[in-house]
Amino acid sequence: MGRLFDNARAVRLILLGLVIVILGVAAVMIVMSRGQGDEVSAENSIETVDAEAMTIDTSEEYARELYGKRVEDVNDTSAVVDLMEAMKLEDITGGYDVTITADGDTRVLTVAIDDSVQKNDKKTLDDNMKLCAQQMMALMPSVGKVQWTYPLISAGAEDETVTVSLDEKGAAEGLKGDIEDYGASAGDFRDLLMQQAGEK
DSSP assignment letter at 139: H
CA distances to 2, 154, 157, 200 from 36, in Å: 51, 21, 21, 55
Percent of the chain with pLDDT over 90: 69
Give the model confidence (pLDDT) of 11-57 as tens digits: 666 666 665 656 555 544 444 444 444 333 334 456 888 888 999 99
Question: For the whole model, what pTM was predicted?
Answer: 0.76
Across-strand partners of 113? 96
The residue among 168, 170, 169, 125 whose CA lies nearest residue 148 is: 125
Residue 131: predicted pLDDT: 98
Give the model confidence (pLDDT) of 151-176 as tens digits: 999 876 668 999 999 999 999 999 99
Residue 74: predicted pLDDT: 93
